[in-house]
Amino acid sequence: MMKTTIKAYGAADSKADLKPMDIERRTCGDDDVKIDITYCGVCHSDIHTVRNDWKNSKYPVVPGHEIIGRVTKVGKNVTKFRKDDLVGVGCMVDSCQQCSACKEDLEQFCEKGMVGTYNGRDVHLGGHTFGGYSTAVVVNKEFVLRIPENIDPKGAAPLLCAGITTWSPLRAWKVKKGDKVGVIGLGGLGHMGVKFANALGAHVVMITTSPDKAKDAKALGAHEVLISKNAEDMKAHRNSFDFILNTIPVGHEMDPYIGLLKRDATMVLVGAVEPLKPFHGGGLIGGRKRIAGSLIGGIKETQEMLDFCGEHNIVSDIEVIDMKDINDAYERIIDADVKYRFVIDMASLKN
């Protein structure tokens, strides 16, 4: 297969800073879309992968799975996209397209394993995939999303991971007008959860440990703010939530949040990919309550989310950075010092 060399930014090993490097992309095949990357969001998973926190990183790591760009070329089997279309690529770039999950538009759960946009097994070139901290990418047409032209493309970048991660559970659990929805944690994920739950007509309660986040949460669309450290307030909200979206990225106490759920209601975890603290079975049994998990969303659902964002003019709240500032941005993400997502202006890598 023919290849071209392009500019990227990546990490040579788990201790290294990200630096400029050259990588190879396949040339645009019959089923492919070639994209000139204009913006790429910075997800906490990028940091976990660069630093090998999940013990599965393949180096060099070129992160980035919140990709926005313009189509520069399409293969001959591509009818849905044309040169100059505004498009996006999220967390996946391939899947088997044959298994029951793929056939049900749930490629994220492909039984053969979906191919991550970075750190996945590259089924075209061999080796592993490289993400969006780069000038261009070539992606199978089934994994390219259409970005509505009326929304800000910079703010649209985080929709491809943070957006779909929060949208999918809200839809899967059929959150509707008038439901009381809790969103735990006000970060990249949580701020999108608040925006979406509000747009779906829910009564949105931001659940956070920090009172100083109340004003921001309300500006994003929360109707109430519940400080989880305040026992009186937690008691006042007991057994009252129809649905809770839990975006806490680390293991944590579950019992206080289980107590907030109504009978038969569900709390969905989207953040903590690690052991949870033990919780009491009685809390679930007493009200037939449920704890569930959710992983990004399928391509069809991601497109639905993007179209919804076009109709409702929803984008992420972001801070734009140059590529060279990525290592500082990582430190600020770890310190939760960003409202609420960094987006790299890829022109800063090209020039």
Binding site for Zn ion (CB under 5 A): 43, 45, 95-96, 99, 102, 110, 161
Nearest 10 degrees: CA dihedral of 92, 97, 98, 104?
A: 80
Residue among 228 and 294 whose Cβ is closer to Zn ion: 294
Q: Is the peptide bond before 340 cis (omega within 30 degrees of 0)?
A: yes
35 vs 74: CA distance, rounded Å: 9
**Shortest approach of Zn ion to residue 83 CB, angstroms?**
28
Going by their DSSP bridges, the two strands 224-227 and 203-208 should be labelled as parallel
CB nearer to Zn ion: give 107 or 242.
107
Count Cα neighbours of 191 within 13 Å in the Cβ-side half-sphere: 23
Neighbouring residues of 71: CB distance < 8 A, sequence distance ≥ 6: 33, 34, 35, 36, 81, 82, 83, 84, 85, 87
Distance in Å, CB of 262 to Zn ion, minimum: 30
CB 318 within 8 A of CB 19: no
Element (H, E) at 300: helix 299-312
Judged by beta carbon, residue 62 or residue 260, the one nearer Zn ion is: 62
How far apart (Å, rounded) are the C-alpha atoms in residues 13 and 159?
A: 28
CB of 63 to Zn ion, least distance (A): 9
Q: Are 232 and 208 in contact (CB under 8 A)?
A: no
Please say which residue, 111 or 255, places its beta carbon nearer to Zn ion: 111
Q: How far is the CB of 101 from Zn ion (least distance, A)?
A: 5
Closer residue to Zn ion, CB minimum distance, 61 or 161: 161
13: Cβ contacts below 8 Å, ≥ 6 apart:
59
In whole angstroms, the minimum distance from the beta carbon of 111 to Zn ion comes to 5
Q: Please report how close the Cβ of residue 260 comes to Zn ion at its closest, in angstroms.
A: 27
Residue 205 or 272: the one with the smaller Cβ distance to Zn ion is: 272
CB 278 within 8 A of CB 301: no
The C-alpha atoms of residue 317 and residue 339 are separated, in whole angstroms, by 6
- Which residue, 110 or 291, is less far from Zn ion as judged by CB? 110
